[in-house]
């Protein structure tokens, strides 16, 4: 499970940050969460292909979260896409996509399948699920929780050998959940395979105030990606516009017992994200600030670290800024 942050700014683009877009790569599939303007160009600067996007999940219909859809669809079309594209989101998804496709400035060579999810609805896909969590914003909005299906338990080859199971095809059959017969005795997978292990889990806030609904849905997440538009000195503005402060994001991560927190949707007033990072880390130390085109690997729950960042240089600049003494 790899995440690539295509846009990490809030409300409008800045020289350092494009607006919201987060690609999640699951094997050959890519899921896109939000699609602010310019997202297709951000894809071109990243290691992820927009042609592999199977579905787009929109958190809400403010321009910085969906206005990149016409350009992305057109780029896909010009590149010869034929596979249908799923677009899912809150109320208004179907009518919005109909309006976009009715613009008529090009003929699309593939189907756009728009779906409006209900609050609390969880859709099951092959190997993972996506749940729509109601968000508290100024328009109908969702957060999303993506969770992998449970994985098979760990195979114990030494236990299998003690039962007389020969290495080779018999090992594979047991690992795949099939019983075997050996000298008249039946060896079942449960005899040599441990209990199922949970898959990885990430929660993506979109825009919105911290809510109990998201805290519950994100419980024990390996990673929480939460907006942190401003610092706590601007909490009145945050509440008025349906946003969260860095401290509130960290508190939600702490209460949800998440393993790691990434802050995004950063206001353009913060040329340096140091104040946001310091505020959040005072509550939840395992916090990082996303930068455009930063990528990371979400590790399995049994790993010592929740995430492995593949953009260490960008992350180190933020760490250094946090450690630098002020004068």
CA of residue 108 relative to chain centroid, distance: 28
Q: How far apart are CA 234 and CA 266, in angstroms?
A: 13
Residues 6+ apart with CB under 8 A from 30: 23, 24, 48, 49, 50, 52, 53, 54
The answer to whether 190 and 227 have CB atoms below 8 angstroms apart is no
Q: How far apart are CA 229 and CA 244, in angstroms?
A: 6
- Longest alpha-carbon distance in the chain: 79
Q: How far apart are CA 175 and CA 216, in angstroms?
A: 34
Q: Parallel, antiparallel, or unpaired for β 180-182 and 185-187?
A: antiparallel
Helix (H) or strand (E) holding 41: helix 39-44
Residues 6+ apart with CB under 8 A from 55: 31, 32, 85, 86, 87, 88
Tell me the three-class secondary structure of 93-108, residue by residue: HHHHHHHHHCCCCCCC
The answer to whether 77 and 42 have CB atoms below 8 angstroms apart is no
Q: Could you say which of 64, 207, 222, 292 is catalytic?
A: 64
Q: How far apart are CA 243 and CA 129, in angstroms?
A: 26
The answer to whether 265 and 229 have CB atoms below 8 angstroms apart is yes
Active site residue 292: no
Catalytic center residues: 64
């Amino acid at each position: 499970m790899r995440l690539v942050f295509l846009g990490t700014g809030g409300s409008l683009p800045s020289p350092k940050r494009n607006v919201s877009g987060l690609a999640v790569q699951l094997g050959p599939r890519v899921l896109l969460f939000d699609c602010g303007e310019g997202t297709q160009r951000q894809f071109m600067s990243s290691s992820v292909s927009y042609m592999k996007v199977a579905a787009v999940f929109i958190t809400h219909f403010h321009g910085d979260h969906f206005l990149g859809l016409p350009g992305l669809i057109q780029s896909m079309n010009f590149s010869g896409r034929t596979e249908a594209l799923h677009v899912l989101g809150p109320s208004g998804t179907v009518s919005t996509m109909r309006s976009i496709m009715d613009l008529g400035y090009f003929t699309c060579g593939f189907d756009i399948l728009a779906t409006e999810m209900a609050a609390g609805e969880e859709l099951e896909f092959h190997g993972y699920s996506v749940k729509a969590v109601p968000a508290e914003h100024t328009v109908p909005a969702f957060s999303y929780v993506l969770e992998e299906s449970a994985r098979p338990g760990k195979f114990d080859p030494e236990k299998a050998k003690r039962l007389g199971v020969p290495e080779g095809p018999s090992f594979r059959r047991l690992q795949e959940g099939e019983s075997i017969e050996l000298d008249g005795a039946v060896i079942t997978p449960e005899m040599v395979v441990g209990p199922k292990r949970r898959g990885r889990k990430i929660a993506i806030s979109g825009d919105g105030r911290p809510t109990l609904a998201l805290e519950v849905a994100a419980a024990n997440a390996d990673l929480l990606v939460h907006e942190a538009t401003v610092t706590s000195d601007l909490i009145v503005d945050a509440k008025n516009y349906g946003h969260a402060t860095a401290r509130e994001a960290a508190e939600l991560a702490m209460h949800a017992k998440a393993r790691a927190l990434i802050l995004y949707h950063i206001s353009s007033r913060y040329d340096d994200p140091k104040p946001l990072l310091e505020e959040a880390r005072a509550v939840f130390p395992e916090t990082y600030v996303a930068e455009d085109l930063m990528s990371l690997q979400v590790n399995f729950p049994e790993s010592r670290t929740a995430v492995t960042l593949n953009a260490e240089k960008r992350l180190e600049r933020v760490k250094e800024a946090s450690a630098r003494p002020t004068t």
